[in-house]
Structure 1
Amino acid sequence: MDTAIKNSNFNFHPEQSVYNGKVRDVYSLPNDKLVMVASDRISAFDVILPRPIPYKGQVLNATAIHFLKATEDICPNWFEKSPHPNVSIGKKANPFKVEMVIRGYLAGHAWREYKAGKRILCGVVMPDGMRENQKFPEPIITPATKAEEGHDEDISREEILAQGIVSEKHYLQLEKYTRALFARGTEMAANRGLILVDTKYEFGLVNDEVVLIDEIHTPDSSRYFYADVYDENLAANKPQKQLSKEFVREWLMENGFQGKEGDVMPEMTDEFVNSVTNRYIELYENITGETFKPEPDTSVDTIEALVQKELN
């Protein structure tokens, strides 16, 4: 049986509305409830790749739940229950139109900008003389606008406030939560022999209370290095051994694709798809210390029945 969920088409309520994100399908129901389905779609360079990755959605959902529960003492969040491994049910929030990206190390997008000669990212100064994957003196917050379609765009704190995207009162709260969540994530990663390199958080309002929404500390939203070889690889200017989605981006770049006009998507072989599944499971088991137990039954009937049981 094909277990991968590429597109969801659930009927949880006759008055539902659906938002299809790059990975998650979000069903808005009456009574301010959300049903979030973590599909097996995978995106890179803001493009959805043609083939889904079996069990990726279950890994993302389980990882997000693990960290939402582990950080609810820091920041209230939207999550309430998970009736199926691909599904979370929770409170509907009015989302802020920014992603709070926080970086502890010069890697990924920040390194690509730095290598191109830039020393200011989202209004934040990056010190001269840094090497790829080097730790920043202090974590930096580099927000991005939340695009409905296409690429998210870097934006500074000053621009966010000047454009009225977020009020100053709420933005200060977002920064406070972002730093505290990153500190907790860093501590939890260290306990598992990992380094939380960078991540992003999304927030919304529920009755004027700022709450954490969407996912947290998953391989789709975060980058992890293995701590035991970090210093050695940094000293030798070698790539870091990492648990993140960066290997997918690297595979695409090696095959001539960066999401630019005219780029042709390379063929995703069965071998590559299976390797991505295994990397996602590896991250879950490494970061949580728990064994991943896949649920092969992802049929529409099963998921709808389990959700309905929770909602009734």
Structure 2
Amino acid sequence: MGLADSVLAVNNDLPIRTDKPVHSGKVRSVYWLTEADSARLIREQGYQVPADTPLAIMVISDRISAFDCIFHGEGGLQGIPGKGAALNAISNHWFRLFKQHGLADSHILDIPHPLVWIVQKARPIKVEAIIRQYITGSMWRAYEKGEREFCGITLPEGLQKDQKLPELLLTPSTKGILKGIPGVPEQDDVNVSRADLEANWQAFGFEKREDIALYEQLLKQGFAVISKALADIDQIFVDTKFEFGYVTDNQGQSKLIYMDEVGTPDSSRIWDGAAYREGKILENSKEGFRQFLLKYFPDPDILLNKQRMPEREALARDNELPLDAMMAVSKTYIGVAEKVTGKPITLSANPKAEIVDILKTRYGLID
């Protein structure tokens, strides 16, 4: 088996029994189970959810997306070896830690394989919950150009690049294109203020106005738990994006939960503490890959300018990235996962075959 075989690049073609289309995102694919299979698994596996809860199988891939495009490497490498397993292992670790600290639950009910979650259906809040502890990235680029107001919060003058902010900043943005919300442009990824959320809480998917404060509290608490755990291994939690949604609990009550992934190198910036103290930035997250791409391609504006999306897509499609660049990303992801979890990440020789076998024999989800 070659390196390319150990990569799970296509994850939307598994023969899982479903009566709905497979939803394939940039990295994960979601298979909604039939009503009968959902009810059977809840019964057989003893999941603590209402008997009629819809369940899904979420399969993570090893694909790497940056600047809204999927990139690939030489030698038929359609993803990053170990990336999916590393991301899931990190998320699973933080979700367990959240539980130990009495924070909210997640949508994950079961982890049958390192690349697979069984999740309950959630009603997502249409806000990417972004929290920042340092000024860097897009926020620094905007600040440098003279912008001082972010999501209704005014930053002081005189901040330096990569400096710790005076306080944690919540800078939410829209998740998907939201229509008909006054003052919020109809495009993905638009910054929104607390006032926008307050004025249009239902349009953003909040079930109660006071849940805005609850989501902010859960965001800060989750950030603090991960930040402390990372500091213990001399890593800095720079900024991150959480997603939230509602599920119905066993008592038929609606509750706010964490969903998707948390605290991973895909959804966060993580810096090496020792390097930072020496005045250097050593990225232990996808940001390192983004910086590589900006240097690698002669015209980085293609990657940064939303008006040049067709050129950007062609760039990602037509260029095989060097193997050493892909393996450097693999080393970063696996390294962070092993530091965080304290356990080795093992690459499976044929992840797809393993997943099919487990879902067939243990869960009866493949004919």
TM-score by length of 2: 0.78
Which among 249, 262, 271 is matched to residue 216 of structure 1?
262
More divergent stretch after superposition (34-43 vs 256-265): 256-265
Distance (Å, rounded) in 1 between the aligned partners of 2:343 and 2:82: 16
CA contact (8 A) 1:192 1:289 kept: no
Q: Secondary structure at the match of 1:49?
A: strand
Deviations 1:150-189 (A, max 9, x none): 8522222222333331432222111010000001011101
The amino acid of 2:97's aligned partner reads: A
The amino acid of 1:11's aligned partner reads: P
Residue number in structure 2 paired with 1:227:
273
Tell me by how many angstroms 1:85 deviates.
Answer: 1.3
Distance (Å, rounded) in 1 between the aligned partners of 2:325 and 2:140: 26
Q: Secondary structure at the match of 1:159?
A: helix
Q: Secondary structure at the match of 1:81?
A: strand
Deviations 1:216-242 (A, max 9, x none): 111001111122232330xxxxx4112
CA contact (8 A) 2:109 2:118 kept: yes
Deviations 1:54-83 (A, max 9, x none): 221111111111111111221111112211
Instruction: Report the CA distance shift for 1:107/1:309 in structure 2 as closer, same or farther (over 3 A).
Output: farther
Q: Secondary structure at the match of 1:284?
A: helix
The amino acid of 1:287's aligned partner reads: V
Q: Does residue 87 in structure 1 map to residue 116 in structure 2?
A: yes
Tell me by how many angstroms 1:90 deviates.
Answer: 2.0
Q: Secondary structure at the match of 1:12?
A: coil
The amino acid of 1:221's aligned partner reads: S
Tell me by how many angstroms 1:49 deviates.
Answer: 1.8
Q: Does residue 76 in structure 1 map to residue 128 in structure 2?
A: no
More divergent stretch after superposition (275-284 vs 11-20): 11-20
Deviations 1:202-229 (A, max 9, x none): 0111122111111011100111112223
Residue number in structure 1 paired with 2:47:
none
Q: Does residue 281 in structure 1 map to residue 334 in structure 2?
A: yes
Distance (Å, rounded) in 1 between the aligned partners of 2:25 and 2:304: 17
For structure 2, the residue ranges without an aligned partner over 5 or more in a row are 39-53, 73-77, 179-186, 249-253
Residue number in structure 1 paired with 2:204:
165
Q: Does residue 181 in structure 1 map to residue 181 in structure 2?
A: no
Deviations 1:105-151 (A, max 9, x none): 11222212212211111222222111111111111111111127985
| Correspondences of 1:69-218 after superposition (within 5 Å) | 69-72=96-99, 73-147=102-176, 151-163=188-200, 164-167=203-206, 168-207=209-248, 208-218=254-264
CA contact (8 A) 2:236 2:270 kept: yes
Q: Does residue 252 in structure 1 map to residue 293 in structure 2?
A: yes
Q: Secondary structure at the match of 1:243?
A: coil
| Percent of paired sites with the same residue | 33
Tell me by how many angstroms 1:305 deviates.
Answer: 2.7
Q: Does residue 307 in structure 1 map to residue 366 in structure 2?
A: no
Q: Secondary structure at the match of 2:284?
A: strand
More divergent stretch after superposition (160-169 vs 119-128): 160-169
CA contact (8 A) 1:160 1:166 kept: no
Q: Secondary structure at the match of 2:241?
A: strand
CA contact (8 A) 1:25 1:37 kept: yes
The amino acid of 2:17's aligned partner reads: H
The amino acid of 2:26's aligned partner reads: K
Aligned length, in residue pairs: 306
Q: Does residue 5 in structure 1 map to residue 8 in structure 2?
A: yes
RMSD (Å) for aligned C-alpha atoms: 2.0
The amino acid of 2:22's aligned partner reads: V
